[in-house]
Structure 1
Amino acid sequence: MADLRNAGLVLAVTGLAHLVAPKPFELITKPLFPEDTGDWVQRNGVTELALGAAIAVPQTRRIGLAGLTVYVSWLAKRGADAFRK
């Protein structure tokens, strides 16, 4: 279970990085969120921080993993829709 804890911490730190240094994430985010890109970088950062923290803690891990599944599925749909245009 240490692997899931570490994975959660990495995801949380990545989310925090969105908030502290958003510029590199804007390049990645813009194709999926061409409007209000900066806002979406922050929203995604908060989401990743929260999900990562939930995954890192054994008591909230299941809900964190469920949330991560929904989040990744949603991002994949956004990506598919963006590149289909």
Structure 2
Amino acid sequence: MSDRPVTAATVVGAGLAATGVAHFIVPQAFAGITAQAFPDDTDTWITRNGITETVVGTAIAIPATRTFGWVGLGAYVAFLGAQAVRSR
């Protein structure tokens, strides 16, 4: 077992990664919110968002890749925000 303490970033990253995995386990739970931003191909975007959240969350949870993860999260949030505005 590691002597490193669990940090808030590790918890946030693990939570985001778990949410990403949930896109594959219960995709219908994400259909409503995904359809708002991606009305034309919702199922494909549920999968893409699941992959993105799993990868970015894992990167945030691991100290060696944390900076990459935070940058990825910023880009992902900006993309989703822009897509939500564009779809309205």
Q: TM-score per shorter chain, which class?
A: over 0.9
- Equivalent position of 1:80 in the other structure: 85
Secondary structure at the residue paired with 1:34?
A: coil
- State the match for 1:70 in structure 2: 75
Is 50-59 or 27-36 further displaced after alignment? Answer: 27-36
Distance 1:40 1:79 in 2: 13
SS, match of residue 11 in structure 1 = helix
Q: Following the alignment from structure 1 to structure 2, what is the Cα–Cα distance between the partners of residues 56 and 24?
A: 24
CA–CA separation in structure 1 for the residues paired with 2:71 and 2:32: 27
Q: Of 43, 50, 57, which aligns to 2:55?
A: 50
Aligned residues: 83
Superposed displacement of residue 45, structure 1: 0.3
Work out the CA distance in 2 between the residues paired with 1:33 and 1:72.
14
Stretches of structure 1 lacking an aligned partner (at least 5 in a row): none
Q: Which residue of 2 aligns with 1:13?
A: 18
Determine which structure has more spread, i.e. the larger CA radius of gyration.
2
The two structures, once aligned, show a CA RMSD in angstroms of 0.9
Question: How far 1:53 moved relative to its partner?
Answer: 0.2
Residue 42 (structure 1) shift: 0.6
Give unmatched runs, 5+ long, in structure 2.
Answer: 1-5
Give, as a single letter, the amino acid of the residue that structure 2 aligns with 1:2: T
Aligned match of 1:25 in 23, 30, 33?
Answer: 30
Residue identity over aligned pairs, in percent, reads: 41
TM-score by length of 1: 0.94
SS for the counterpart of 1:31 is: helix
